[in-house]
């Protein structure tokens, strides 16, 4: 994993990376957290970053285990949200980890984004190891379908309205080819970093292969401003989205 890249984001994370709890248009994440919330349950936040989810987890669960690979981001998280019911752990989820204590609920938001298939599988293995049998797993990943949808919308804005913030089909093809060097692999270049984007069926199958049972797949939608500069006010649904999966670890 690229520790330097994530350490460098520690001072500007909210500007560089979408913070799910703040930007989720329909409150999908908090709704799903409320479904499994209990002051008798322990939750793990794998890939916690600067801890943007921690306050939402603290108020819903008995204790929180916040895990990240980046020293810089963990430092920010500790400074913001240190408390008696929050433990911080620096760990590389692509390595075999045996947690000191399994959790009832495991949250993993925008972590399965590495370009390496092997490393993504190892992260899934870590998710399973952190979760007790019968426990719940909440996963969000970038959507490849959404990426394509954004480009189609840019073309429509230019073709139908001549909008300055739209894009001609020729320009869109060139930019898409540059930004998405491998559609089949779902790799999208984000600020020069190859980032895995998932189709719905693809992420569902991978989660099942990791030994989890998928209960629901939902969309977490974001405002158009997250993808288009000064979008027209009337531009509405379908909004750009991430995939959100609710899964459980079998009891046996």
Q: Could you write out the three-class secondary structure of the chain?
A: CCHHHHHHCCCCHHHHCCCHHHHCCCCHHHHHHHHHCEEEEEEEEECCCCCCCHHHHHCCEEEEEEEECCHHHHHHHHHHHCCCCEEEEECCCCCCCCCCCCEEEEEEECCCCCCCHHHHHHHHHHHHHHEEEEEEEEEEEEEHHHHHHHHHHHHHHHHHHCCCCCCCHHHHHHHHHHHCCECCCCEEEECCEEEECECHHHHHHHHHHCCCEEEEEEEEECCHHHCCCCCCCCCCCCCCEEEEEEEECCCC
Q: Please provide the size of the chain in residues.
A: 252
Q: Residue 186 — very low, low, confident or very high, per pLDDT cuts 50/70/90?
A: very high
pLDDT at 160: 75
Q: What is the pLDDT of residue 167?
A: 87
pLDDT over threshold 50, residue 12: no
Q: What is the pLDDT of residue 163?
A: 62
In angstroms, the CA 33 to CA 8 distance is 30
Lowest average pLDDT, out of 5-9, 37-41, 118-122, goes to: 5-9
The pLDDT value recorded for residue 28 is 96
pTM: 0.90
pLDDT of residue 166: 80
Give per-residue pLDDT as tens, 188-220: 998 888 999 999 999 999 999 999 999 999 999
pLDDT of residue 19: 66
Contacts of 116 (CB under 8 A, 6+ apart): none
Contact 127, 108 (CB under 8 A): yes
Peptide bond just before 238 cis, omega within 30 deg: yes
Q: Are 242 and 145 in contact (CB under 8 A)?
A: no
CA 88/CA 48 separation, integer angstroms: 9
Give 95's pLDDT tier (boundaries 50, 70, 90).
Answer: very high
Cα(77)–Cα(19) distance, rounded to whole angstroms?
14
- How large is the angle between the packed helices 200-209 and 117-130, nearest 10 degrees? 60
When the pLDDT of each residue in the chain is averaged and rounded to a whole number, the result is 89
pLDDT band at 38 (very low <50, low <70, confident <90, very high): very high
Residue 37 in this model has a pLDDT that exceeds 50: yes
Confidence of residue 64 (pLDDT cuts 50, 70, 90): very high
Close Cβ partners of 131 (under 8 Å, ≥ 6 residues apart): 44, 102, 103, 105, 106, 137, 249
């Amino acid at each position: 994993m690229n520790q330097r890249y994530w350490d460098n984001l520690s001072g500007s994370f909210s500007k560089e990376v979408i913070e799910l709890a703040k930007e989720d248009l329909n409150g999908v994440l908090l709704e799903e957290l409320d479904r499994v919330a209990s002051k008798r349950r322990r939750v793990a936040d794998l890939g916690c970053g600067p801890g943007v989810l921690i306050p939402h987890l603290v108020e819903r669960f008995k204790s929180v285990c916040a895990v990240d690979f980046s020293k810089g981001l963990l430092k920010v998280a500790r400074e913001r949200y240190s408390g008696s019911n929050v433990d911080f752990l620096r760990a590389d989820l692509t390595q075999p980890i045996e947690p000191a204590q399994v959790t009832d609920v495991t949250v993993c938001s925008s972590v399965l984004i590495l370009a390496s298939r092997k490393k993504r599988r190892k992260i899934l293995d870590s998710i399973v190891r952190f979760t007790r049998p019968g426990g719940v797993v909440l996963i969000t990943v970038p959507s490849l379908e959404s990426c394509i949808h954004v480009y189609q919308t840019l073309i429509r804005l230019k073709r139908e309205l001549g909008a300055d913030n739209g894009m001609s089909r020729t320009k869109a093809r060139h930019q898409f080819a540059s930004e998405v060097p491998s559609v089949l692999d779902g790799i999208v270049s984000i600020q020069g970093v190859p980032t895995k984007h998932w189709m719905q069926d693809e992420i569902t199958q991978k989660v099942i292969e990791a030994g989890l049972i998928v209960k629901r797949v939902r969309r977490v939608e974001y405002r158009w401003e997250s993808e288009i500069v000064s979008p027209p006010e009337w531009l509405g649904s379908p909004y750009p989205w991430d995939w959100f999966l609710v899964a459980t670890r079998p009891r046996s």
